[in-house]
Structure 1
Amino acid sequence: MTPIAPHITAFLRQRLIEERDASRNTCESYAYAFKLLFEFAAERLKTTPAKLCFEQIDATLVADFLAHLERRRGNGANSRNLRLAAIKSFMRFMQYRLPAALDQIQRVLAIPAKKTESRLVKHLTVAEMQAILDAPAPTSREGIRDRAMLHLCFAAGLRVSELVGLQMADLRLQPEASIRVEGKGRKERCLPLWKQTATAVRAWLAVRGTVPSSHLFVNARGEVMTRSGFEYILGKHASAAAAVCPSLSQKRVSPHLLRHTCALTVLQATKDLRKVSLWLGHASIQTTEIYTRADPSVKLEALESIVAPALRTGRFKATDALIASLHPRAFADADDPSRR
């Protein structure tokens, strides 16, 4: 039996960090996937995670783990597939380190990803988005910071990791306000800022003060803002905005919802899917096509450019009550004793 601990350590530190130069978010996601897997396996096999062996992580256990994610933890198909992708990446890494287990590895690699539903992208209306942006009170340091974060997250269509990862050096206010964003796969993009967004950011810089962190946004202790910290801030202001815009109470407002709203705003303004892809930093324009299904204006243009088939014309004439009473059938019914 082969202890799995040394191999998973080599995978996370050697394969991901040194060989693939994976981002911190990728490493954390993979590590969390294995944490869930090993906790499940330890409970199933009545042992401790440190004593698990590679031979015990077979296709049957992995399939049961994926079912556990959906049934017990309530994960959707996308989350399930992400965990499976991490496991398969580790198994491909083990092909060279443990050739004797090739049959076991191939069985795990043969587990298919689950088909996901292709739903319309959820987004906020103009009134809902404006209510959230207006929720922070710009009369305190926290309110000014929150307003700048919300404006920047929406206007630039940032992922939450991109927002909290912004450095002071990434911001440029002269001659034109812009930010440099490092997205997935370390792909960089430069985005101009609306005047309103630049004004909100300048107001934050005026009260930010001197803090040890080089990140643009910091918490009350002067430390870097975390993902959960911004999610809390967004949820708090979304709840406050629901008092002004009641429709917000029916929606789950998340940082990614602001990103979707930005994408549809850019698409409606430019009618150019390529510009939306560049704005969001997508690796492929196929990823951006989901927004065309959610934007009705694209379909309206198609309707306006197509000649619709003609309808047959005619008038419907209702039978006059007096004329109907003079019909011969009316008298026949009157003479029939069975109808009296």
Structure 2
Amino acid sequence: MANLELKNVHKSYGAVEVLKDINLSIRDGEFVVFVGPSGCGKSTLLRMIAGLEDITSGELRIDGALSNKLTPKQRNIAMVFQSYALYPQMTVAENMGFSLSLEKTPKAEISRKVMAAAEALKLEPLLERKPGQLSGGQRQRVAIGRAIVRSPRLFLLDEPLSNLDAALRSETRVEISELHQRLATTMIYVTHDQVEAMTMADRIVVLNGGRIEQVGSPMELYNNPASEFVASFIGSPKMNLISGGAARAFGAETVGIRPEHMIINVDDPTWQAKVTLVERLGHNTIVYARVPEIGLFTVSLDGQHDFDLGATVGLAPRVDRIHRFDAAGAPIGR
């Protein structure tokens, strides 16, 4: 396990600055998720922590020791990528133990570590199979097992579930969370999927344009976003954002209202809207309704509800749950 600290870290490729003034402390045993849109720098930051990318300026400290110049092996870091990168001619057990065999680890110790990792990942029945005989989810578990056997101080996972279908993503997400609880090891996980971030993280680091926008627990970010960007990025369905005259009526340049904080079919509505789509999901209902000259609103309702397409409905926000932002995207009234 390890503490990690980044101080004033920058990354440039020539004149192109990719990461700017990154300051972040990650505690021993913490599960931290880097999230943000494509191109925000989250994978580059992970690779800098791993030692696969040089740091242009600033400090990377692992357990207090300056580690900028250390190789990945010297940092004792294990990384799981989007690609499984398994050797097709090797069995599951051989793939998991390969890095240890390269280090001339005794066979008995390799076998013990492989069996322990296989037990943690429910891979025992598959140890003699080859990758071509496995599902995508099983292959990803083998890749994670290959990292576990090295007993690293830090686990780094770069979008490891992106190749899986929705059902397997959900299942493997749970398995990784359970694994973290059992191992109590520091894990840093990169994803563009904010649902993964919200369900797995102790803390989330939101990146945008090479900078950290906010760091906090999932609910801190959800309830108290530090910027309009964080407010719009965190949450599913996405927050409703309105600007112009409609926002200025609430004393802001931009107003955000989460779909579950919208009220529909009220007696004294703020806006009249026309229903354009209804998603009936069983446990809840998502209604999309368009307000003339303002735009499309999303309303999330618990349970099952029926609305006719094209019907006119009255909408109103819960005034106590409105988020207000100024022209620079900073929150008003926090």
- TM above 0.5, one fold? no
Task: Compare CA radii of gyration and give the structure with the larger one.
Answer: 1
Larger strand fraction of residues = 2
- Specify which structure has the bigger relative contact order, considering alpha-carbon pairs within 8 angstroms and separated by 6 or more residues: 2
Give the TM-score category using the shorter length: under 0.3
Larger helix fraction of residues = 1
TM-score normalised by L of structure 2: 0.22
TM-score normalised by L of structure 1: 0.22
